[in-house]
């Protein structure tokens, strides 16, 4: 429980700070929606309270006698067999559900923003890897030229090396375009320079903590409570209602001096409706559906976590494979550098190995960024 509370506080603090990154327009929309939620709660909570009515009339009869009547009247329900308390509960639960919905929407924006920033970093890694692949391709072309001129290979081998270089250069243009599109997409969420934004460094939480704090599950639970209170309200609509009534006024006419008057009392009303059972049953079904929706959300959340865990494990295994390759490249470099110094190998062999080693090192950086993407996507579902 302590871990869950600590994580929740961490989420709240980080989330509050992150909102400042969003554009002013998005921040204003969030503020306005929150105010809208607060106003709606107040309105829903006190919707059962009836206001006073002020009336006034001036009439004349067939004898041309004028009668003036002014009064204020109040009719207020004071007992609805649980309907009033359910109305207040409904306002509270609806507010909670709408606030969770607003949080989900805002976190979706933040998650998308951070994932785009990580994609830009991945774009940079891919561009650097492609640059090194082009260098290796140029080395291969140089070697193939020498072999072709020496009659050791046919022109098709040299042409194949040239085609590989051309494809890599075309890939560079594609990667540059993808990066520019990602930078443009970032501007939809923030006015800050993308290079100045710090990406959260987060650790993977346990499955239990994720399920306990999942926004979609919390929303589904709130939806259950909202539908439960609506069910109670609907049932109370067809039960007796006890009301208090009061009236205070002033009346005068051409044949009577003006005088104040008042009356008050209680009344009970019992609604009769042919469709009452159907209407109540509809709200009960809504409540039952929301319970099943919760089960579905819990199942989805479990699958989401398991898929994330599997993906992260896959990237970790790929990191291990890359480390093995790097170790092999180090061994080959040691041998090739010695042979180069002895005159048995060309500098091209050494450079190609160095480039290949760096490419695998960049692979590791890429895998780690992809792990960060998985964790951030999960984190902003809390």
CATH number for the domain that contains residue 329: 1.20.1600.10
Round to whole Å and give the CA distance between 323 and 320. Answer: 5
**Which residue in 18, 115, 181 sits closest to 370, CA to CA?**
115
Report how far residue 125's alpha carbon sits from residue 130's, in angstroms, rounded to the nearest whole number.
8
**Which residue segment(s) compose the domain that 343 sits in?**
2-47+80-238+273-379
Tell me whether residue 58 is in a domain. Answer: no
Q: How many domains does the chain have?
A: 1
Report yes or no on 200 lying in a domain.
yes
| Paired sense of beta strands 66-79 and 241-253, if any | antiparallel
Within a domain: 306: yes
Is there a domain that residue 204 lies in?
yes
Q: Tens digit of pLDDT per residue, the chain (382 long)?
A: 444 445 544 554 455 568 999 999 999 999 999 999 999 998 888 887 787 788 888 888 777 888 888 888 888 887 877 788 889 999 999 999 999 999 999 999 999 999 999 999 999 999 999 999 999 999 999 988 888 888 888 899 889 999 999 999 999 999 999 999 999 999 999 999 999 999 999 999 999 999 999 999 999 999 999 999 999 999 988 888 888 898 989 888 877 777 888 888 888 888 888 888 898 999 999 999 999 999 999 999 999 999 999 999 999 999 999 999 999 999 998 888 777 677 766 788 889 999 999 999 999 999 999 999 999 999 999 9
Cα(207)–Cα(101) distance, integer angstroms: 22
The pTM (predicted TM-score) of the whole model is 0.85
Burial of 80: CB neighbours in 10 Å, binned 0-12, 13-18, 19+: buried
d(CA 348, CA 330) in angstroms, rounded, equals 16
pLDDT of residue 284: 94
Between CA 190 and CA 116 the distance in angstroms is 12
Please give the helix or strand (H or E) that residue 75 lies within, else none: strand 66-79
CB atoms within 10 A of CB 66: 12
Residue 147 lies in a domain: yes
Answer whether residue 59 is part of any domain.
no
C-alpha span between 376 and 203 (Å, rounded):
9
Does any domain span residue 226?
Answer: yes
Residue 340 lies in a domain: yes
Instruction: Provide the pLDDT for residue 3.
Output: 47
């Amino acid at each position: 429980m302590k871990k869950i509370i600590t994580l929740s506080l961490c989420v709240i603090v980080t989330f509050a700070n992150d909102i400042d990154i969003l554009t002013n327009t998005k921040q204003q929309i969030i503020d306005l929606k929150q105010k809208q939620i607060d106003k709606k709660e107040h309105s829903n909570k006190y919707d059962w309270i009836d206001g006073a009515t002020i009336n006034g009339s001036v009439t004349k009869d067939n004898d041309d006698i004028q009668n003036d009547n002014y009064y204020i009247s109040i009719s207020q329900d004071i007992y609805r067999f649980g309907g009033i308390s359910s109305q207040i509960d409904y306002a509270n639960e609806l507010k909670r559900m709408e606030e969770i919905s607003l949080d989900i929407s805002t976190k979706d924006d933040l998650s998308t923003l951070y994932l785009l920033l990580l994609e830009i970093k991945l774009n940079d890694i891919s561009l650097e890897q492609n640059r090194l692949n082009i260098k290796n391709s140029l080395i291969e072309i140089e070697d193939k030229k020498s072999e072709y001129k020496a009659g050791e290979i046919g022109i098709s081998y040299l042409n194949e090396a040239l085609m590989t270089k051309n494809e890599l250069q075309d890939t560079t243009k594609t990667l540059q375009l993808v990066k520019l599109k990602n930078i443009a997409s970032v501007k939809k969420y923030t006015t800050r320079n993308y290079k100045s934004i710090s990406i959260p460094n987060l650790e993977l939480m346990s499955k239990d903590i994720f399920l306990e704090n999942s926004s979609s599950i919390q929303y589904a639970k709130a939806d259950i409570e909202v539908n439960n209170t609506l069910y109670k309200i609907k049932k109370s609509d067809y039960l007796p209602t006890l009301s208090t009534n009061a009236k205070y006024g002033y009346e005068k006419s051409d044949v009577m001096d003006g005088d104040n008057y008042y009356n008050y009392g209680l009344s009970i009303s019992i609604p009769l409706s042919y469709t009452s059972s159907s209407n109540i049953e509809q709200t009960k079904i809504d409540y039952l559906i929301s319970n099943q929706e919760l089960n579905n959300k819990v199942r989805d959340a479990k699958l989401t976590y398991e898929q994330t865990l599997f993906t992260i494990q896959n990237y970790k295994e790929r990191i291990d494979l890359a480390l093995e390759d790097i170790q092999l490249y180090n061994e080959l470099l040691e041998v090739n550098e010695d042979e180069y110094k002895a005159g048995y190998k060309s500098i091209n062999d050494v450079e190609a190995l160095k480039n290949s080693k760096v490419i695998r090192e960049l692979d590791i950086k890429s895998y780690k960024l992809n792990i960060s993407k998985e964790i951030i996507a999960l984190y902003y579902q809390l």
